[in-house]
Amino acid sequence: MSLVHWIKKENKPNLILFVHGLKGGQETWAYNGDVSFPGMLASDPQLVDRYDIACFNYFTTFTSAYGVSKSAFSRLFRSIKKIRKNLPITELAELLRTEFEVNLDGYDKVIVIAHSMGGLVTKACILGHLSENQETAVKGFISLAVPHSGAKIANIGSFVSSNVQLEDLGVLSDAVDQLSRDWLNADNPPPTKYIYGAHDLFVDKKSALAIESQRKDSIAVDEDHSSICKPKSQSETIYKAVVKYIIDLESMWKEPLTVREFQDNSQYDDHYFVLKMVIAEVHEAITGHAKGYFFNAEEARKLFTSDHDKKLLRMLYSKVKEVYQQEYENHIANKTTPDQLVRSVHSKIMSEDEGYLKTALTELDGIHKKGMVHQLANKGDATIVWSRDTKLEDIEAKKGGGS
């Protein structure tokens, strides 16, 4: 029997995998019978086109007497029901590794959202991947109230129960200490985001924020140890924080976007944005630079393909167009030349790069944004032109003439 419970399986390229903690299960993530954390992510419009959703469910209970009775031998040999026991973190990690190899091997990238002890299981699994293959399918790890340094309550619990999982969770336990040391010394562990509950009585802030965590990768939420993994709606802060972190992690997967030198001077000669410049008698040096900007903007557009990225780009294109319109009004009012108009638009875009035109697509710089105005001009209309005297019939005639 697989330990993976599927919430959404539509052969998407990537996977979000939930891993519960001590005495948890599918109910860990459920606010009620109709609302659950995995279920909301499965329908989130920012993620729905890129992710399948699943949960890793392993056996865990406080009692250490599971399956033990006077008729233990009889139960062992006569019953067809599986007898399970509490397994240490390292063994649970091996079960998770098996699921990765057998049932989760078709995904490009996996993001794990782990709660409490589930985070330690996840770390041990990732370390196993890195030790064996020098890489892991887990490309992002979101830690929800995970006791990276152990939990004091587990030390207390170990006095009344011999549960091996409680022993592993104890402050300064061998398991916690070894995991922390191995994680710090690991080569290329996946980027990790840390979230702790301000009202958590079981895992305090010091433990939830691992020693290697950075301020930019960690936040507090107004939750306790249980509610941190049970948002009741997509408007909850904890839900929004997790989605934000997923998108942050995605941005790390992309190839770095750089400004590339434009080589082919004859490229784009018959494109509308060039024809509009030719008709307006814009200087050929400026037109040549515009080709380079357009080229870099086209390269950027190839990189941002998700629905979320496209939404951000649409907003940015709208702002770039607004910058053009303001400068065009100045061009008309002050009777400037087409050369001056192009220069003023480019200059305005650069000056607004860190202000009005700032975007969550941090890889885009001013050069790419300059190219965006020429992308907008690459249509046979008068939305963006470089002279008030430009006529649509002139553009079409130039296009038809193959110039």
Contact of 113 with 19, CB cutoff 8 Å: yes
Q: What confidence tier does 149 reach under pLDDT thresholds 50, 70, 90? A: confident
Question: Mean pLDDT, to the nearest integer, of 212-229?
Answer: 94
- What pLDDT is recorded for position 388? 86
- What pLDDT is recorded for position 376? 97
Q: What confidence tier does 67 reach under pLDDT thresholds 50, 70, 90? A: very low
pTM for the structure as a whole: 0.67
Coil, strand, or helix at residue 148?
A: coil
- What pLDDT is recorded for position 163? 53
Coil, strand, or helix at residue 61?
A: coil
From the centroid of its chain, how far is CA 51?
A: 11
Using only C-alpha atoms, what is the Rg of the chain? 28
> How many residues are there in the chain?
403
- What pLDDT is recorded for position 62? 53
Q: What is the mean pLDDT of the chain?
A: 87
How far apart, in whole angstroms, are the C-alpha atoms of residue 100 and residue 97?
5
9-31: pLDDT as tens digits = 999 999 999 999 988 899 999 99
Domain 4-253 has CATH 3.60.20.10: no
Instruction: From 293, 297, 291, 296, select the one nearest 269 (Cα to Cα).
Output: 291
Higher pLDDT, 392 or 170: 392
- What pLDDT is recorded for position 171? 54
Question: Mean pLDDT, to the nearest integer, of 326-347?
Answer: 96
Q: What confidence tier does 81 reach under pLDDT thresholds 50, 70, 90? A: low
- What pLDDT is recorded for position 279? 93
Coil, strand, or helix at residue 31?
A: coil
Kindly list the strands in the beta sheet with 109-115, ordered across the sheet, starting from the edge strand earlier in the chain. 4-8, 51-56, 14-19, 109-115, 138-144, 192-197, 218-221
Please tell me which of 85-94, 292-301, 388-397 the model is most confident about, judged by mean pLDDT.
292-301
The residue whose two tokens read 């001590």 is: 22
163-207: pLDDT as tens digits = 554 455 555 567 788 888 999 999 999 999 999 999 998 898 989
SS (H, E, C) 87-122: CCHHHHHHHHHHHHHHCCCCCCEEEEEEECHHHHHH
What ranges do the domains of the chain cover? Answer: 4-253, 272-400
Strand bridging mode 51-56 / 138-144: unpaired
**pLDDT above 60 (res 154):** no
Q: What confidence tier does 390 reach under pLDDT thresholds 50, 70, 90? A: confident
Q: Is 150 left (phi over 0), alpha (psi -120 to 50) or beta?
A: left
Coil, strand, or helix at residue 19?
A: strand
- What pLDDT is recorded for position 157? 38
